Amino acid sequence: MDDLKQRAADLDAADPLSGWRGRFIIPDGLIYLDGNSLGVLPGNVPARVADAVARGWGEQLIRGWNAEGWMDLPRRIGDRIARLIGAAEGSVICADSTSINLAKVLQAALAMVPERQVVLSDTGNFPTDLYVAQGQLGQAGTLKVVAPEDVAAAMTPEVGVLMLTEVDYRSGRLQDMHGLTDRARDLGIVTIWDLAHSAGALPVDLAGAGADFAVGCGYKYLSGGPGAPAFLYVRPELQNRVSSRLTGWMGHAAPFAFDPDYHPAEGIDRFRVGTPPILSMVAMDAALDVWDGVDMQAVRAKSLSLGDLFIACIDRFASAYDLHLASPRDGNHRGSQVSWHCPDGYAVMQALIDRGVIGDFREPDVIRFGFTPLYLSYAEVVKAAAILQDILRRRTWDQPQFHARARVT
Amino acid sequence: MDDLKQRAADLDAADPLSGWRGRFIIPDGLIYLDGNSLGVLPGNVPARVADAVARGWGEQLIRGWNAEGWMDLPRRIGDRIARLIGAAEGSVICADSTSINLAKVLQAALAMVPERQVVLSDTGNFPTDLYVAQGQLGQAGTLKVVAPEDVAAAMTPEVGVLMLTEVDYRSGRLQDMHGLTDRARDLGIVTIWDLAHSAGALPVDLAGAGADFAVGCGYKYLSGGPGAPAFLYVRPELQNRVSSRLTGWMGHAAPFAFDPDYHPAEGIDRFRVGTPPILSMVAMDAALDVWDGVDMQAVRAKSLSLGDLFIACIDRFASAYDLHLASPRDGNHRGSQVSWHCPDGYAVMQALIDRGVIGDFREPDVIRFGFTPLYLSYAEVVKAAAILQDILRRRTWDQPQFHARARVT
């Protein structure tokens, strides 16, 4: 792979994003290809969280809600995320978990199409999204799940809501947000996009696509920390016409009037429910400092280039070990991750982790690698591939400790 | 008030909980009577959170879900809270916000009584609870809100669910959990108790009372931090027979099998939904260290004694300034807070805060003081009353800066 090593060195030398790596804390010797599961720690986060604990909570106490701006964090963080996903100011809030946010927007969406209680999704959607839809629909509607390539054809007249994840969590396959949203609009279908593997990974253009609703996750590419609060988007024109059935005081027009009747706030704030977990939100807010000034087109270019290089490396030995690319080879159809079907994939991934290359495994046989352009180098990608080749060549994965299943990989 | 000062000194000298104060970080000179809004910072929290950020997230990264036990935090924290609210192990989880948890258990409760979609509550319930019920019932049912003292009489045959907060957020009035739950059971009414102002404030006996469901809050008496994750309880016998419509992967029987169909986990875990905010949960977990070994009977005794002393102090000058006790004088009917109707209450509270005595104001005219026995002394309570008297006597509250409304008090 000497030629690929050289290519990596050239790419690193010319990388316009190379300066960003220093803003993250990356354990020595680790090649982290799992920023699509949990992003690494931005260097400014520890001090910000420590300050929120010791000074914000410890000294300001209840006064922190005003003095520290905690009340407005959901909206302020939302506006910072909005810039990264092509949304207008005031159309995104940071709150709750992705699943809870999906339930909220799904309720709002279903209420818009009372005669068409059919939700269309695809098999590439993350299962929790399907579970949320099953829970919300109950016996009153139907969840229709088709293959990713069959979505357009499945938009039949009974479908009321199209609910898709833009980037397939397993294969990295990219759905066509603009095309499918256009078609949905023509057919009177309300659209919900899950940006879990999109936000911070590639340029998203929610407003341009005319998407009705979106949700996403703070802990992957955005590096907001383990279980970081999630976000949701509502198209500005819809905000005052729809609401969720998850109604709580933070979404009230006047939370501190203690009115016994619920009156939704104007705008996106009506999608807030309870009191937000401030320490986790402060970490999310601090993590977004890193994103100020990031050019998402540059992120996309490097992301694809990293993925292409990794594929080129694995191509050299894939057939010898029965690895089959599970992701689109064409970057235009791919998010920021690349996966392979791999025999004994679970054990192979454990052996990789043992050698300091962290990716993850997804049932039944997928080894998955995420590319985070702000803190990965091309050299690391080539080195990771070489370590994988070594593990396969020497069959070091075939040791009992690599077969023991942990609950999360 | 010299006699009351002496009484306070005697009580402090004999206080079996005085040793606990050192476990908290309390700003110098502050008399904090607002632990019922946001509990003070336990001394062990900063280091625990810093470690979760720098080592757990920063070094373990995705491995933290197993290595740091993050996956099990909701259950582990739940079991620690369970001890404080009279619940069995495995019947409480820590998750989401109080409002979201209330929506979950309300959905489960309403599904148990399909022919009786009437929720009974009282005017002393915190408004967000009423909003949650309004949202969940929609047009399909009715929320019936009566005066607190009329609840028993209002349990008519059409009522399916009784949803109450044990301690009134304004007056501190304590509802009779045992009596009302008994009566509800006899009438086939499902019970939901909100323990926001109970957990950590007084002994709660959920199992003994036979309550069906409960929710509560981590950031008040439990000192879990601003917006700390909340908790929910489901009676063990019900757990596998009910479920909420908020279904997400963390509540699935096998979250990492990525099954496209939702199958609820056995037991309390089915009430989990999305990925929990770990940094906030770590703070909550650390805060609960303080509670290990705390005798809730001793907490209750001191809580009432602090409240009685404060009432005795205010009695000395209440009539001169038109203050009227808004809380039950009899401690048996009171939680851990005492309130007064107070003319210009908002400004009076701001003037108090300016003098280093933090309580809070609740519309329309209530000044409210919470008593947290683990970190308050009797001497502080007498001093706070003297400062209030001074403010009223000198009318120092009547300055423009004390009238400007902030969003949260």
Write the pLDDT tens digit of every residue in B101-138.
999 999 999 999 999 999 999 999 999 999 999 999 99
- How many Cα neighbours within 13 Å face the side chain of B137? 20
CB B151 within 8 A of CB B183: no
pLDDT band at B406 (very low <50, low <70, confident <90, very high): low
Name the closest residue on chain A to residue B37, using Cα atoms: A62
| pLDDT tens for each residue of B183-208 | 999 999 999 999 999 999 999 999 99
Query: Of A49, A249, A360, which is closest to B131 when you measure between CB atoms?
Result: A249
Topology given in CATH for the domain delimited by B69-291? Aspartate Aminotransferase; domain 2 (3.40.640)
| pLDDT tens for each residue of A324-366 | 999 999 999 999 999 999 999 999 999 999 999 999 999 899 9
| pLDDT tens for each residue of A380-404 | 999 999 999 999 999 999 999 999 8
Q: With CB atoms and an 8 Å threshold, state whether B274 touches A230.
A: yes
pLDDT for the residue numbered A409 = 39
pLDDT over threshold 50, residue A376: yes
Grouping H, G, I as helix, E, B as strand and the rest as coil, residue B316 is: coil
pLDDT for the residue numbered A406 = 63
Catalytic residue flag (residue B344): no
* Cα separation, B359 vs B33, whole angstroms: 5
Question: How far is B3 from chain A, CA to nearest CA, in Å?
Answer: 32
CB A120 within 8 A of CB A146: yes
A69 touches chain B (CB under 8 A): no
| Residues A302-320, mean pLDDT to the nearest whole number | 98
Domain ranges of chain A: 2-43+294-403, 69-291
pLDDT over threshold 70, residue A408: no
pLDDT over threshold 60, residue A44: yes
Q: With CB atoms and an 8 Å threshold, state whether A57 touches B34.
A: no
- Among B101, B159, B160, which Cα is nearest to B132's? B101
Which DSSP letter does residue B258 get?
Answer: -
A130 touches chain B (CB under 8 A): yes
- Please determine whether the domains at A2-43+294-403 and A69-291 fall in the same fold group of CATH: no
Q: With CB atoms and an 8 Å threshold, state whether B408 touches A256.
A: yes
* Cα separation, B236 vs B293, whole angstroms: 25
B404 touches chain A (CB under 8 A): no
Residues of A in contact with B251 (CB under 8 A): 131
pLDDT band at B1 (very low <50, low <70, confident <90, very high): confident
Catalytic residue flag (residue B194): yes
State the ipTM, two decimals: 0.96
**Positions of A marked catalytic:** 126, 194, 219-220, 368
CATH assignment, B2-43+294-403? 3.90.1150.10
Q: Which residues have CB under 8 Å from B333's CB, separation 6+?
A: B173, B174
CA A258 to chain centre: 36
Which residue of B146, B247, B375, B407 to mutate against A (max A Cβ within 10 Å)? B247
Q: What is the pTM of this model?
A: 0.97
Which DSSP letter does residue A56 get?
Answer: I
Which residue of A270, A279, A353, A363 to mutate against B (max B Cβ within 10 Å)? A279
B47 touches chain A (CB under 8 A): no
| Residues A184-213, mean pLDDT to the nearest whole number | 98
* Cα separation, B196 vs B219, whole angstroms: 9
| pLDDT tens for each residue of A88-124 | 999 999 999 999 999 999 999 999 999 999 999 999 9
